[in-house]
Structure 1
Amino acid sequence: MAEGLLDKVERLMGQPVTGFTPLHGGDLSEVYKVDLTDGRTVAIKLGAYVDAEARMLRAIAQSGAPCPTVLATQGDVLIMTLEQEVPADPSGWASLGRALRQLHDTMGTHYGWEQDYAFGPAIIPNAPRHSWPDFWGEQRLLALAPDLPGDVVKRLETLNKRLPDLLPAHPTPSLLHGDLWTGNVLFTLQGGKLIDPACYYGDAEVDLAMLHLFGAPGPQFIDSYGALPEGWQMRRALYQLWPALVHLRLFGAGYRDMVEKRLKAVGS
């Protein structure tokens, strides 16, 4: 940790730092565990979008869903509470199901968010739309078109024209985590907590689709979350296509097969 950053943390927290340890923060951010003289251990996250993330965490907390508490922000520094991680077990998955349902029960007035966001160089446009197919097509599936292979873009453009027939026009605009995979869930002694959000308002099935893209939550999660609307199986591939495209954009051709499978699943 640079000396200037150490000084900033001590000023913001009003406590000297006694130790720090790098944590795994994904591929797009720096995260540290920091020990303070008053006995607290906090998480420090660095990045260009930490102020936006702080607003998202506050929105999640206001919904009643568990997440880290924002302690301070300044410039590119976000300071949050940090709890001990424990292995996921059936009770942890059940608590995550309840937490996600609570998050999704918080409703907005439109689809989108107050500002754009980004996963590294991949910009995520969030300008509001009142039609869900319009939002999903323009602000998600086609958002990365300039940086995707041309043949994929042509198939996405064709798919975009079909979205009014594949997606509900006006599903409940639920508060979404927006980047929900198991790496963005912290299982603690108190249950599952939501971390590293990319919030916006949209169809709740989006979060569930991504959570199942890179893993398989147990039956306890499904039971505690509750039943999904009819037709969710078809929509799941369509919603999983967006994170697959993001991975293709960020990490290259190794994710082409993931994209291909979802395109074929929706007939494109």
Structure 2
Amino acid sequence: MKYELLLRTALDKMGHSGAFEPTFKGGGDTAVSGEMVVNGAFLFFKIHENAEILQSEVSALEALSAHVRVPRVLSSVQVEHAGVIILEHLTLRAPQSSEDWQAVALALARLHQPAGEGYGRFADNYIGGSIQRNHSDDSWQRFFAECRLQPQLDRAIALPAAVRRDVDKVIARLADWLPDRPASALLHGDLWSGNFALTGDTPVFYDPACYYGDPQVDLAMMALFGSTPESFYLTYMGATPDADLRCRWWVYDLYHLLNHFNLFGSSYAASIARVAAKLLRS
């Protein structure tokens, strides 16, 4: 399916029948993205051969939008099996100052307000190109074992046998590091440093993989693939992370590292081995 045809269909749905000028940027891990000028205005778009991935993103953005700033979805269409979403074009910048990080912390704290009981509680969706099961469960430990770690480990058939055994041991001992009934909040779910920024002075969040769970999942992801300053933690929770909390983060890190192993290959095996070993020694 030609990308231009998908964009034309999405623009027609918006009521724009005139010419458009797309610039393709290649985008993220799983989608082709870019920007285009329509009637003198810039718009951002994402295209994927699996329309379900983009539809799950639209649902997650809608859920987040009740709590934090996200890019507005202007159009979403599916043609055959491919899909496209058109979003407002935002000028983004990375947080730099203490004030920026404090703003991110306050926005994330709004998102992470307790929201009912149970975990998952969201339609199955995708994290990158991987399906993410979000079946409801009243046990966080069981949810994280059965809907997060075990499905990724089952896919990781090329993982060295010794590392697989260590991850199996971690799964069997989740009660050593995870609470079974933490406060449940809506999570971004994929909150590395490339999935949040500021537009002006306002934090904006995008590319989510939402579900309900322990808010520390998002903080762990921020620290795993980025550098989070002290000013963020002091604003978000009034303290810097202690040793027990960092052990909990290591469990959450394993999920993302296994997913990256399954998506991008063996270069993540050493990180999986290191994190599993740290947990088993703790």
Normalising by structure 2, report the TM-score.
0.87
Deviating 4+ runs (over 4 angstroms): none
Q: What's the CA shift string for 1:57-107, capped at 9, x where partnerless?
A: 1110112x1111122212212121121122432132222111111111151
Q: Which residue of 2 aligns with 1:18?
A: 20
Q: Give how far 1:256 is off.
A: 1.1
For structure 2, the residue ranges without an aligned partner over 5 or more in a row are none
Q: Give how far 1:147 is off.
A: 2.2
Q: Which residue of 1 aligns with 2:4?
A: 3
Q: Give how far 1:191 is off.
A: 2.6
Mapped to 1, the partners of 2:134 and 2:94 lie a distance apart of 34
Mapped to 1, the partners of 2:203 and 2:26 lie a distance apart of 18
Q: What's the CA shift string for 1:141-163, capped at 9, x where partnerless?
A: 11122321244333222222211
CA RMSD of aligned residues (A): 2.0
Give the one of 32, 47, 63 matched to 1:59. 63
Asked whether the equivalents of residues 10 and 17 of structure 1 are also in contact (C-alpha less than 8 Å), the reply is no
Write the mapping of 1:175-254 to structure 2, written as runs, cut at 5 A. 175-227=186-238, 231-254=244-267
Q: What's the CA shift string for 1:102-150, capped at 9, x where partnerless?
A: 1111514321143222245532211111100001111111112232124
Asked whether the equivalents of residues 113 and 199 of structure 1 are also in contact (C-alpha less than 8 Å), the reply is no
Give identity over the alignment, percent. 31
Q: Which residue of 2 aligns with 1:135?
A: 143
Partner SS for 1:170: coil
Mapped to 2, the partners of 1:188 and 1:24 lie a distance apart of 22
Q: Which residue of 2 aligns with 1:102?
A: 110
2:14 counterpart letter in structure 1: M
For structure 1, the residue ranges without an aligned partner over 5 or more in a row are none
Q: Give how far 1:257 is off.
A: 1.5
Q: What's the CA shift string for 1:169-228, capped at 9, x where partnerless?
A: 100111100000011113221332111000000100010001000111223322322236
Write the mapping of 1:73-112 to structure 2, written as runs, cut at 5 A. 73-75=76-78, 76-90=83-97, 91-105=99-113, 107-112=115-120
Q: Which residue of 2 aligns with 1:46?
A: 47
Asked whether the equivalents of residues 11 and 75 of structure 2 are also in contact (C-alpha less than 8 Å), the reply is no
Task: Please identify, of 141-150 and 246-255, the stretch whose mean Cα deviation from structure 2 is larger.
Answer: 141-150
Aligned residues: 266
Partner SS for 2:66: helix
Mapped to 2, the partners of 1:57 and 1:33 lie a distance apart of 19
2:71 aligned with 1:68: yes
Normalising by structure 1, report the TM-score.
0.91
